Amino acid sequence: QSALTQPASVSGSPGQSITISCTGTTSDIGSYNLVSWYQQHPGKAPKLMIYEGSKRPSGVPYRFSGSKSGNTASLTISGLQAEDEADYSCCSYAGSGTWVFGGGTKVTVL
Amino acid sequence: QVQLQESGPGLVKPSETLSLTCSVSGASISSYYWTWIRQPPGKGLEWVGYISFSGATSYNPSLLTRVAISVDTSKNQFSMKLYSVTSADTAIYYCARLVRSNSQHFDQWGQGTLVTVSS
């Protein structure tokens, strides 16, 4: 069970759109449409932003969206805002009651 | 509103046992699944294991031989023990609620507690 692969950092200017990729294998992302995404500000607990690949919990802004193609999931932030600067981690169900996370991506708002 | 709060020693000696408890308020522990997730300083999140309301457990294969999660429904708490710790187990440990059925995600998290393994 290996960690999912995310870019270390992504940056964008306010108002722009950015996309964070999350690459897994046929044993996790490729087999299940069960990817979730978490936002984490420094010193804070992770917060659920996307589940089941593309669903937003109540209260999460519409500018956050998720998708999947093959073994890769993606999180897109449209209309980037200053408060979106944080670390983002993907997670996938990997079968047999186990989960695997990505290494995290630091988003910087320029 | 569901709240989770981790508690336990912040410092554990190498080869000893790390013990943490998560107290849950605002939800019955008997109605959900509960999990532990950890994050070494400056690194990514790592799923540790979960326990169901019935006591069924599942653990990260990399920790399978050293970890045990239990639940105390009378106190609305669940706990984790990690045996034979090393410096590699130094991390912030989070407890979280696991949503299963047709979904598999962690929707409520505790604030986390830093555990340092050092002599």
For residue B80, the one-letter residue type is M
A51·B111 Cβ contact <8 A: no
A36 and chain B in contact, CB less than 8 A: yes
Q: Give B36-74 pLDDT, tens digit per residue.
A: 999 999 999 999 999 998 899 999 999 999 999 999 999
Contact yes or no for B93/B36 (Cβ under 8 A): yes
pLDDT the model gives residue B101: 77
Contact yes or no for B112/B94 (Cβ under 8 A): yes
Query: Which residue on chain A is closest to B5 by alpha carbon?
Result: A45
Q: Which two tokens stand for residue B92?
A: 């912030």
Query: Which residue on chain B is closest to A41 by alpha carbon?
Result: B111
pLDDT the model gives residue B102: 79
Contact residues on chain B for A101, CB-CB shorter than 8 A: 37, 44-47
DSSP classification of residue A70: T
DSSP classification of residue A56: P
A101·B45 Cβ contact <8 A: yes
A54 closest CA partner among A80, A75, A82, A70: A75
Contact residues on chain B for A42, CB-CB shorter than 8 A: none
Query: Which residue on chain A is closest to B100 by alpha carbon?
Result: A97
Picking from A33, A34, A50, A99 by the largest number of B CB atoms within 10 A of its own CB, the best residue to mutate is A99
pLDDT the model gives residue B75: 95
Q: Which two tokens stand for residue B93?
A: 């440990």
Q: Give A72-108 pLDDT, tens digit per residue.
A: 999 999 999 999 999 999 999 999 999 999 999 999 9
